[in-house]
A and B are shown apart, each in its own frame.
Chain A
Amino acid sequence: MSDHSPVGEHELIQKARSGDTDAFGRLYEANAPAVFRFLYAHLDDRLDAEDLTEETFLRVWQALPGYREQGAPFGGFLFRVARNVLYDHYRKTRRRPSITLDREWPDDQQADPAVSVPEQLERREMHRVLDALREDQRLVLSLRFLAGLSPEETAQAMGRSAGAIRVLQHRALAAVRKLLVGPEEAQSGAQKGRAGFPGVSETD
């Protein structure tokens, strides 16, 4: 997941546990983009995702004394905290991660001049599909493919076995495909031309 080798990451963690904020800053730089992607996949607002990313790492810093590597990857620990931060946010905003196909999009997303309209539309479509999934399916896909965790790290973050994660992943991917192409085509197994597959262009 991060750019650091396991040995380098281990050293940074040890230093951070001793109170070295610079070492923790380097861990932050390596892992913050993945955490942000995970959180943004679940939230409407980019600013909320940014705030929660910082909150996640603050809690990780606070909880580092209790972290024991012992073969358990740092990514699993990090994203378990991120998941908890997300759930705390849901509770504060009284929001449930349910299907909200008619979500109203905040104005700031449309007003951002750096984001093109096609990109905004693609992001909306992405959120539409993800929102329509069950919560555990959305979680496993956002951890595995949007944050880039391994199956073992995902298992640790979700508190399940690696085997259970693989099964859940298969079902979640099938559900995504069905949402993208429609249940009839998904059932008939019809091959879809790439031009008709939302979000994927011919040049990809």
Chain B
Amino acid sequence: MAHKKEEQDFQAYLKLIEAGQPAEKILADIPEQAHHVRAELEAVEWLEHSRGLLEPRPGFVTASRKRLKTRLETPEGRQVGIWRSRWLVRYRSRSYGLAQSPVILAVLLVMLVGMIVQSGRVLAHSAPTWLPGDFLYPLKETGEHLSLLFSLSSEQRASRHIEFARQRLLEAQSLVFEGRYEEIAGAATDFSEHMDAALRTINQISRKDLVTARRLAGLLDVTLSQHNQLISTLVQACPDTARQDLQRVLAVSQNGLLEMKRIIDPGNSNASILTWELPLLAQKAAVLGD
């Protein structure tokens, strides 16, 4: 409270100085406080005097008003929309220097994109324990989508689809172990989509770069082979509702293996399945499984 009173008194002294009263007279009237406020009141008095040194030249305001009116009537004087005007007042030149250079802005943008891509990759690859139906699972999906979005080449995109297909297989297995059969359908669908995309991309690559296509096909072959045996076993342990979904996974996987054989070993006439027939084959396999 005492501090507030002192502040109010000080503001009153300032008003007296602004009105033209000398600081010495004010100080003489407040002998108890003079020692505390003398320095500041003398500084204020000096500033008030300095104010007179900064007045504009006679006639400046009138002449510049006319110039300004002329400028306001040109395209330069167009009033902008609300959001741009708030940016003009609030954000422009908030701190002069670094953020305004186009080069530095471009660098910051590249860094931001890099952070987003890296975050996506971290989310996609560092959350293997998140399963469909988990609270944070959408983050994992978002990370995968970002990772695919920022793929720099067809090869990279195909590799990522293969990895995400592998993730879906792992998730399907975990779901069976945990008895969460209702979530397997989603994992199976995602697996089919990633497989389809991987095969389509590898086929496109095979038209221009057979060596890379074969390498990717080999990667997919290894991935599917590692999991197919386990999934075949799990099919037997599932209730009927989940068995259909797992059989769909198996069918897609096996057809993918055949397609990869065709790419790896083109002379083999047994491998003639076209990639866009895979979803239809998966459906047939599901029906046959019943």
Contacts and interface: CB of A to CB of B under 8 A. Distances in A.
B48 to A, nearest CB: 6
Contact of A29 (B22, B65, B78, B83): B65
Interface string B48-62: 111101111100111
Contact of B85 (A53, A67, A146, A198): A67
A50 B56 CA distance: 8
B5 interface: no
Interface stretch (B39-47, B135-143, B161-169): B39-47
A66 B82 contact: yes
Interface in A168-194: 170, 173-174, 176-178, 180, 186, 189, 191-192, 194
Contacts of B46: 176, 180, 197-200
B93 A62 contact: no
B88 interface: yes
Nearest to B41: A173
Interface residues of A, number: 65
Interface in A17-66: 17, 19, 21, 24-25, 28-29, 32-33, 36-37, 40-41, 46, 50, 53-54, 57-59, 61-66
Given A66-B86, A145-B51, A146-B54, A173 B43 contact: yes
B88 to A, nearest CB: 5
Nearest to A112: B57
A33 B67 contact: no
A192 B46 CA distance: 13
Interface stretch (A3-11, A76-84, A98-106): A76-84
B89 A145 contact: no
B50 A146 contact: yes
Contacts of B22: 204
Contacts of A62: 77-80, 85, 88
B82 A200 contact: no
Contacts of A85: 93
B92 interface: yes
Contacts, number: 167
Contacts of A17: 79
B69 interface: yes
A88 interface: yes
Given A41-B50, A61-B77, A123-B54, 8 more contacts: A25-B68, A29-B61, A32-B64, A63-B88, A66-B89, A80-B89, A122-B50, A189-B38
20 contacts: A50-B56, A54-B64, A57-B68, A61-B72, A62-B80, A62-B88, A63-B79, A65-B81, A66-B84, A66-B88, A84-B92, A87-B96, A91-B96, A123-B54, A145-B51, A177-B42, A180-B43, A191-B38, A199-B46, A200-B49
Interface of B: 7, 11, 18, 22, 24, 35, 38-40, 42-51, 53-57, 60-62, 64-65, 67-69, 71-73, 76-86, 88-90, 92-97, 100
Interface of A: 17, 19, 21, 24-25, 28-29, 32-33, 36-37, 40-41, 46, 50, 53-54, 57-59, 61-67, 77, 80-81, 83-85, 87-88, 90-91, 114, 119, 122-123, 126, 141, 145-146, 148, 151, 166, 170, 173-174, 176-178, 180, 186, 189, 191-192, 194, 197-200, 204
The 7 nearest A-B residue pairs measured at CB:
A66-B85, A63-B85, A87-B96, A84-B93, A145-B47, A173-B40, A177-B39
